[in-house]
Structure formats: structure tokens, C-alpha cells
Amino acid sequence: MTATIDTEAAAAKLAEDRTRAVRQLTELGADEFGQLTGTVDFGDAFADAGAVTAERTEVLGLVEGLKSRLDSIDHAISKIDAGTYGICERCGEMIGADRIDYRPTSRLCVGCKSSS
């Protein structure tokens, strides 16, 4: 017997995760599309251009990771809206409720994920 996925709980968790990711992007000086808004000043706090470049590179890496996370969250939300949430994108079988509870953005069941 397979446990049923609680899509309302998943939608609430995804909305909370989305809000957190957007807030973190904003704190890094980026919009929710991952574009730097220019609100972060890398100027006077650094002794040289190399330090500024290193800091900017680190921020860009963090923004890229958060943008990827946000894309995964938005994809999961769209699957809830379409009624296909919890279905493996590779084999079409149900993703286990435990996996969805642990990682609400899962696109693949454990079997397909293990073989990729």
C-alpha cells in the first residue's frame, strides 16, 4: 500500500521555501530571476580589485544556487497546479510520500534517481 501525498501540505512547504529563497536572493542583492540588482556595494570594504572580484564571484555562486532552488520549487508548484505532483518524470510511477515529504521538489522516484 502506497501512502498518499498531502499536496496541501506540500504546497504550503513549497510556498514557505519559495519565500525564504526569494528573501535570501534579495539579501544577496539579486531579484528572483537571479539578476544582480546593483544594491550590493563591493567598494570601500575591500583593499583591492582582486578581493572585490573574489567576493562578487562568491555572491554570484550563491545566487546561482538559490536561483536553481527557486526554479525547482516553481516547477513543483506548477506540477501541483497541473495535478501531476508526485509522479516520476522518468517512469511515470508515483514518487514515494516519504521522499516527497523529505524533498518536496523531487522529480524522480528513488529507483530512477538511483539509476541516473
Query: Which residue range forms the structural domain that includes residue 73?
Result: 7-84
Tell whether 43 is covered by a domain.
yes
Residue 105, pLDDT score: 97
**Do the domain assignments include residue 56?**
yes
Residue 113 has pLDDT above 70, yes or no: yes
User: CA–CA separation, 97 vs 5, rounded Å?
Assistant: 5
Q: What is the mean pLDDT of residues 6-22?
A: 95
In a domain, 27, yes or no: yes
Q: How confident is the model at residue 22 (pLDDT cuts 50, 70, 90)?
A: very high
Q: Could you tell me if residue 50 is inside a domain?
A: yes
Q: What percent of the chain has pLDDT over 90?
A: 68
Specify if 103 maps to a domain: no
pLDDT number for residue 4: 85
Q: What is the pLDDT of residue 1?
A: 41
| Each residue's pLDDT tens digit, 28-39 | 999 999 888 876
The tally of domains found in the chain comes to: 1
Q: What H or E segment, with its residue span, contains residue 59?
A: helix 49-82
Q: Label residue 82 by pLDDT band (50, 70, 90).
A: very high
Q: Is residue 102 part of a domain?
A: no
- Is 99 among the domain residues? no
Specify if 113 maps to a domain. Answer: no
User: How many CB atoms neighbour CB 47 within 10 A?
Assistant: 8
The angle formed by the CA atoms of residues 77, 92 and 109, to the nearest 5 degrees, is 70
Q: Are 86 and 96 in contact (CB under 8 A)?
A: no
